[in-house]
């Protein structure tokens, strides 16, 4: 594959490109599927995607193909150069510089099908014993993922990793009623573990059995919200994208334009990009703009250390690219037990899942709380029917009352629980 890519890169330069890059992503997956509580089928899925990028006279063009035959690639090259002629020159467009060539290898490249089937049959037996009222579908997949990036500056990266991914979607039924759907997903280094015991999955399903009958909150109020780790990850990611990432700089909407080394969020919050963290089963090693993903602290005790911007944004805005978009989030744990966080809430919500839009450029957001709980006088009272949550993610992350000692690691990222005060909570 890499030899073929080098030939393609040479062809792009010979056709007239001043600079060029090629990226190939090839994935081979073996899926084991449970549908309607039965191990129903196994299938093999293979996909390839080749992305070409060229710059000539400060004009650029890109094209992607999923057919790797020479005729299809030649056709794509012709189309790309034709499209480039009508492009507008942009000196900010560039490819990554020469870097030390790197190859990453991880995981067992071949699936252990027999063990995978054992794990799925275990799951069926565990669900039948513990949660007979729950309807669910589940997929256990062995992924062999090959990614290669080459460019004319000499960047040369190969990421060859394999891992298992597991996802489950579930809902509980009682008489003629059912709960709101919930789900969980994880990545695993191997298939040697019991699936129901991983990453809080069993607890989420147990909660779901309680959520067949829900009640509205007593009234609309301003109170505390405990964010489940997945919602913490979504909120922090929303802050990066809408406030300090490439989009706010390119749209001239960034509220923290010159804040490296300055306090931007609550001092309790430390966020790292950690592709080398041993607790992760999978990590994106090659960034979208052609760099090796780096271990780095993005926010340290609330202080901004790196803007997560790509190369184009850095050039366009006369900035320095240092990290790029982080993909392997690790948010450091706090010093408060989850049980103590709950006890401290006079009136609020345990937010387990949310459904709604992303934050806008000002950080304002609203969504519906699902599979969640009403808290009063330091105790979880009951599962709630759909409830509106609204506020501003910048304000939330600047005013964190507590971060839990407990963390959830799903193989992709690791996050604790957050307790956020003074959130608008509305009865629908």
For residue 104, name the pLDDT band (cuts at 50, 70, 90): very high
Q: Which domain holds residue 266?
A: 221-427
What is the reported pLDDT for 1? 86
Do 411 and 362 fall into the same domain? yes
> Would you say residue 155 has pLDDT above 90?
yes
Do 203 and 226 fall into the same domain? no
Domain CATH for 74: 3.30.2290.10
Do 11 and 127 fall into the same domain? yes
* Domain final residue, candidates 210, 236, 262: 210
Do 58 and 199 fall into the same domain? yes
Task: Give the whole-angstrom CA distance, residue 160 versus residue 145.
Answer: 6
Q: pLDDT for 244-284, tens place per residue?
A: 999 999 999 999 999 999 999 999 999 999 999 999 999 98
Crossing angle of helices 2-15 and 70-85, rounded to 10°:
40
C-alpha distances out from residue 192 to 32, 114, 143, 189, 221, Å: 15, 11, 16, 9, 47
What is the reported pLDDT for 357? 83
Instruction: Answer whether residue 41 is part of any domain.
Output: yes
Instruction: Answer whether residue 32 is part of any domain.
Output: yes
From 329, 348, 325, select the one nearest 401 (Cα to Cα).
348
For residue 386, name the pLDDT band (cuts at 50, 70, 90): confident
* Domain final residue, candidates 210, 231, 253: 210
Mean pLDDT value across the chain = 96
Instruction: Answer whether residue 215 is part of any domain.
Output: no
The total number of structural domains in the chain stands at 2
């Amino acid at each position: 594959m890499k030899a073929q890519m080098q030939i393609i890169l040479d062809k792009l330069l010979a056709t007239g490109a001043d600079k060029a890059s090629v990226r190939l992503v090839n994935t081979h997956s073996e899926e084991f599927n449970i549908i309607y509580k039965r191990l129903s089928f196994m299938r093999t899925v293979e996909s390839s995607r080749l992305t070409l990028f060229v710059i000539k006279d400060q004009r650029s063009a890109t094209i992607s193909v999923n057919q790797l035959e020479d005729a299809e690639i030649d056709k794509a090259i012709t189309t790309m150069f034709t499209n480039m002629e009508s492009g507008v020159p942009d000196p900010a467009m560039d490819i990554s510089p020469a870097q030390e060539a790197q190859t990453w290898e991880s995981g067992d490249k071949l699936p252990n099908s027999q063990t995978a089937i054992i794990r799925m049959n275990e799951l069926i037996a565990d669900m039948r014993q513990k949660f007979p009222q729950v309807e669910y579908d589940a997929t256990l997949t062995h992924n062999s993922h090959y990614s290669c990036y080459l460019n004319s500056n000499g960047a040369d990266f190969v990421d060859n990793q394999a891992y298992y991914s597991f996802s489950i979607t579930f809902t509980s039924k009682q008489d003629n009623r059912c709960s709101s759907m919930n789900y969980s997903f994880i990545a695993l280094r191997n298939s040697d573990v019991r699936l129901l015991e991983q990453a809080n999955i069993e607890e989420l399903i147990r909660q779901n059995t309680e959520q067949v009958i829900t009640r509205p909150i007593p009234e609309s109020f301003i109170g505390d919200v405990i964010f489940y780790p997945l919602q913490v990850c979504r909120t922090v990611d929303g802050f990066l994208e809408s406030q300090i990432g490439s989009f706010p700089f390119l749209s001239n909407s960034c509220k923290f334009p010159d804040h490296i080394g300055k306090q931007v969020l609550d001092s309790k919050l430390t966020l790292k990009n950690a592709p080398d963290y041993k607790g992760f089963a999978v990590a994106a090693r090659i960034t979208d703009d052609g760099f090796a993903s780096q271990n780095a602290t993005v926010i340290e005790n609330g202080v901004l250390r790196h803007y997560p911007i790509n190369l184009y944004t850095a050039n366009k805005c006369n900035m320095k690219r240092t990290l790029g978009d982080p993909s392997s989030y690790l948010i450091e744990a706090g010093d408060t037990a989850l049980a103590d966080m709950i006890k401290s809430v006079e009136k609020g919500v345990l937010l387990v899942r949310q459904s709604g839009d992303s934050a806008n450029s000002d950080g304002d957001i609203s969504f519906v709380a699902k599979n969640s709980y009403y808290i009063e006088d330091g105790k979880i009272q009951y599962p709630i029917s759909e409830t509106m949550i609204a506020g501003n993610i910048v304000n939330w992350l600047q005013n964190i009352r507590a971060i839990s000692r407990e963390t959830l690691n799903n193989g992709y990222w690791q996050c604790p629980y957050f307790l956020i005060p003074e959130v608008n909570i509305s009865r629908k």
